[in-house]
Chains A and B, each alone.
Chain A
Amino acid sequence: MQVNRRQFFKLCAGGMTGSTIATLGLLPATAMADVRSYKLLRASETRNTCPYCSVGCGILMYGLGDGAKNAKSEIFHIEGDPDHPVNRGALCPKGAGLVDFIHSPNRLKHPEVREAGSNEWKRISWDEAFARIAKHIKQDRDANFTEKNADGVTVNRWLSTGFLAASASSNEAGWLTHKFTRSLGMLAVDNQARV
């Protein structure tokens, strides 16, 4: 007698106990029930570091997309890296919400400009953004760059535009920021460490 799992439970509910049924030889030939397969096993795993506080907890990011052409990568789960000597797999309530940071509806998606006096954002292309910003820089720099101070000392500084550097961007971005700002002559350069 072939009894699948659902029928098996129906029979049980019909008054007989399961063990009686079993002794009657009515056990299902193959159990159709299965523990749902562990999804993370089929995800791509990427190691990263929590971007919040300075403990620097190791994290494992699990993503869709295996690198195949046209497969779109997307992180769907993040947990603590158990090999990491500091956090040993743990995350705090801040870090536990990291996947919601990545997918926040308030992530910015394309360049925009708010024109002087306007009350709205206008979408622009990267090329327009770079060109307009570079033009602003050049105008201000050419108008206000100081080559020599009152004593005739070469100072080559540009004080009328400033740059506030990030607190979570990588060292590599930080180094390029240093090169960018200093080569323009900027001195009003600061980062979150100031406050």
Chain B
Amino acid sequence: MTNHWVDIKNANLIVVMGGNAAEAHPVGFRWAIEAKTRNKAKLLVIDPRFTRTASVADFYAPIRTGTDITLLSGVIRYLLETGKYNKEYTLAYTNAALLVHPDFKFEDGLFSGYDAEKRKYDKSTWAYQLDEKGMAKRDDTLSDPRCVINLLKQHVSRYTADVVANICGTPKEAFQAICEHLAETSAPDKTTSFLYALGWTQHSIGAQNIRTMAMIQLLLGNMGMAGGGINALRGHSNIQGLTDLGLLSTSLPGYMTMPSDKEPTLDSYLAKYTSKPLADGQMNYWQNYPKFFISFMKAMWGDKATADNNWGYDWLPKWDKGYDVLQYFELMHQGKVNGYFCQGFNPVASFPNKNKIVASLSRLKFLVIMDPLVTETSTFWQNHGEQNDVDPAKIQTEVFRLPTTCFAEEDGSIVNSGRWLQWHWKGAEGPGEAMTDPQILAGIFLKLKAMYAKDGGKFPDAINSLSWAYGDPHEPKPEELAKELNGKALADLPDPKNPGQFLAKKGELLPGFALLQADGSTASGCWIFAGSWTQAGNQMARRDNSDPSGLGNTLGWAWAWPANRRILYNRASCKPDGTPWDKKRTLIKWNGEKWVGVDVPDFKADEPPGSAMAPFIMQAEGLGRLFALDKMAEGPFPEHYEPFETPLGTNPLHPKVISNPAARLFKDDKAELGQHQQFPYAATTYRLTEHFHYWTKHARLNAIMQPEQFVEIGEELAREKGIAHGDMVKVSSRRGYIKAKAVVTKRIKALKVNGQLVHHIGVPIHWGFEGLTKKGFIANTLTPFVGDANTQTPEFKSFLVNVEKA
């Protein structure tokens, strides 16, 4: 979230699309209801299903799964054609006026630079026109046809109300109402808050779904505003934190990138990621990359990292390609992987094409499970009849199952969707011999290190150099690890403004990332967490819930990254001259010397209003990007591509380019895609109010509340297929089938799309062959093994099935 949960109450319009907050995030959703009751906000829900969120909405519109970009591009067209957008904000704070490379173009569904064989773009034309100093050219009169906003106008001109209705199945009147509601919040004193979740990310065009919405928020002037922003309702309690920590194949903590083999030296690596400005007078914050990286290396390797060995640069692995889970299970399926660790994660249930996952795990030599609960992954080798039809004797994988403690049995911090790091305390011992994750990792690591010391082996250098300065090496304590993440001064840090004074003395915990250095005199495991545990103590454990402004920014409650800032880009809540767009939402103001306010200013503290510095300080040009340059895989503007399994069998906009042309698709998975002739119904998976993922089926109360697997089918289709409420049905895709009870409902209606009727089947995910509920099928038996072109997040939300009475 750029904003946070309580801030939703400040919105005038709340759009829930690609999510179902009332059921998946019920307590957070109370702030949307608060906005309705206290702020007279309108709630608008756009979803293939009439969800419980829709049931309390002021306005609901149906949409075919996988077509959100079409609807949102239609909204952008409406805003630009009617002029109902915040023009001053758009001109000053977005790249609307910047000029695009003369050779950039879009034709028949493809942007310039496409290589059909590699399914990749050469992105050299996805760029600004630069002047002789290398700065982006701009035309503030917006008369140059190469201005971003003019190209955008042209790009979205195809998304008329008729096209939206034809592709999305959303009635024209409903679409018109959506446009009008959103346009109202282009007024400087009105905001929209968009709430989305996995309903947007789990598509082959997931990242562009979100981007299209973010562009609307920029045009409406809602970014940086209280009650505005883009608000990802993340799916798990610390998925935000583990992402912040760089636990992704090619990531490092704090959104840095793991070096690849294209950067053989430290210098080449730093040159690539140290941001160079694209406009004069910008903060261009990623210019500090070397400080963040070298401080990370000092946290990793301690005294062993020195200037002479390039801070241990050779000890980090260098990637040749991303090893995301789809890529890795493909390799495992080919027999190229020997070992796998699953820490609190159940891939048999959570990954697409369950049968492929089980087949892949069966080819491993060893599998290590660390979990508080029995998972289907830990028992993938057991025969559970139709639900897991395997022969244990033929599976040679050695499986270790290690019991871990759960939340109640440990201290530590987790990061919520609003980027708040909240500390929690242990209340009981774990059951039996359960250990914490750090104890288990230490146990394995120390054994391994001893084996290398005794017997030698391949490249023990990094293992031997890893900093392990914990009081008890077998049990690194949460406080020790949290302080390591925050970082400390490794030498006295002189204050450049006050000679003889120091910003921090050697050994002190750092107050924030502004003190980080690129010369090895600071260490910080994750630069954006710097400030979370300072000399003043554990900031994440703070419990002052006072809210002096009434806007909900409880700065004394826990600690938010970065720098305890609650609303990102909050400089954009003021006009260029420093006055707030809306007095009631004053987050920060200029006091003549510096920026102050009820939030931590997201700007250079002493940069006066009216200067050239723009509010999006992480960008090289300081601007919100309506044109994404080369940052996206499939294009700098969003474009509608059909799901890889489309009920239409075509793309009405460009029949030759049906689905995302830059998405990666492995050969065997391509062969396992279904066609609409055999699998005519659009299916989507989702969560229920009573269950959390595949965990609560092990909790008795939840198992009682929702004991048995079901699927949802609209009344029209049920009639056509002779399926009655409560019948057992078999739902099959090209990859497998599940059997479940049918819930026949009015809440899913057939949609008229491109001259045909499209039915949706709803597949809740929560069952499996383990748990206290009745045994069920893994819903992801049905889903396709293809992901978003940028993130490789699987397309769980749009695929094809058939349904019949079982």
Contact = CB atoms under 8 A, between A and B. Distances in A.
Contact of B424 (A47, A74, A80, A131): A47
B112 interface: no
B408 A75 contact: yes
Contacts of A110: 403, 432-433
Q: Indicate the size class of the contact surface on chain B.
A: 35 or more
B25 A189 contact: no
Given A90-B30, A92-B27, A102 B337 contact: no
B448 A134 contact: yes
A188 to B, nearest CB: 4
B248 A194 contact: yes
Interface string B194-235: 000000001000000000000000000000000000000111
Interface in A152-172: 153-172
B343 interface: yes
Contacts of A105: 772
Contact of A108 (B245, B328, B403, B421): B403
Interface in B522-580: 525-526, 529, 543, 545, 547, 552, 554, 557
Chain A CB count within 10 A is highest, among B325, B350, B407, for: B407
Contact of B436 (A121, A173, A188): A173
A49 interface: yes
B323 A159 contact: yes
Given A144-B338, A149-B320, A83 B543 contact: yes
B482 to A, nearest CB: 5
Given A101-B406, A161-B338, A162-B323, A175 B793 contact: no
Contacts of B238: 51, 166-171, 174
Interface residues of A, number: 117
Nearest to A76: B428
Interface stretch (B269-277, B662-670, B672-680, B695-703): B695-703
Contacts of B402: 108, 111, 129
Interface string B312-337: 00111111100111001001100011
B463 interface: yes
Interface in A170-195: 170-180, 182-195
Given A92-B689, A174-B238, A162 B337 contact: yes
A170 B403 CA distance: 16
Contacts of B428: 61, 63, 65, 73-75, 102
A101 B463 contact: no
A165 B243 CA distance: 10
Interface in B245-301: 245-250, 253, 258, 261, 264, 300
Given A86-B6, A109-B403, A178-B247, A184 B462 contact: yes
A180 to B, nearest CB: 5
Given A92-B689, A153-B261, A171-B415, A163 B434 contact: no
A48 B408 contact: yes
A54 B239 contact: yes
B163 to A, nearest CB: 31
B129 interface: no
Nearest to A166: B344
A66 to B, nearest CB: 12
A9 to B, nearest CB: 37
B317 A157 contact: yes
Nearest to B780: A195
B463 A164 contact: no
Chain A CB count within 10 A is highest, among B328, B414, B478, B696, for: B414
B392 interface: yes
Nearest to B340: A162
Contacts of A56: 5, 237, 414-418, 420, 422
B502 interface: no
Contact of B233 (A54, A73, A193): A54
Contacts of B245: 171, 174-175, 178
A94 B247 contact: no
Given A46-B427, A168-B414, A174-B247, A156 B318 contact: yes
A145 B459 contact: yes
Contact of A48 (B233, B331, B407): B407
B699 A101 contact: yes
Contact of B457 (A142, A169, A186): A142
A85 interface: yes
A173 B320 contact: no
B406 A175 contact: no
B314 A154 contact: yes
B350 A192 contact: yes
Contacts of B336: 160
A160 B5 CA distance: 41
A141 interface: yes
A119 B496 CA distance: 67
Contacts of B347: 164
Contact of A113 (B318, B399, B436, B525): B399
A141 B31 CA distance: 50
Interface string B362-387: 00011010111110000001100000
B133 interface: no
B458 interface: yes
14 contacts: A58-B422, A61-B427, A85-B6, A97-B696, A108-B403, A110-B403, A126-B435, A138-B457, A155-B320, A161-B338, A168-B407, A175-B484, A188-B249, A192-B345
Interface of A: 44, 46-58, 61, 63, 65, 72-75, 80, 83-87, 90-98, 100-102, 104-119, 121, 126, 129-138, 140-142, 144-145, 147, 149, 151, 153-180, 182-195
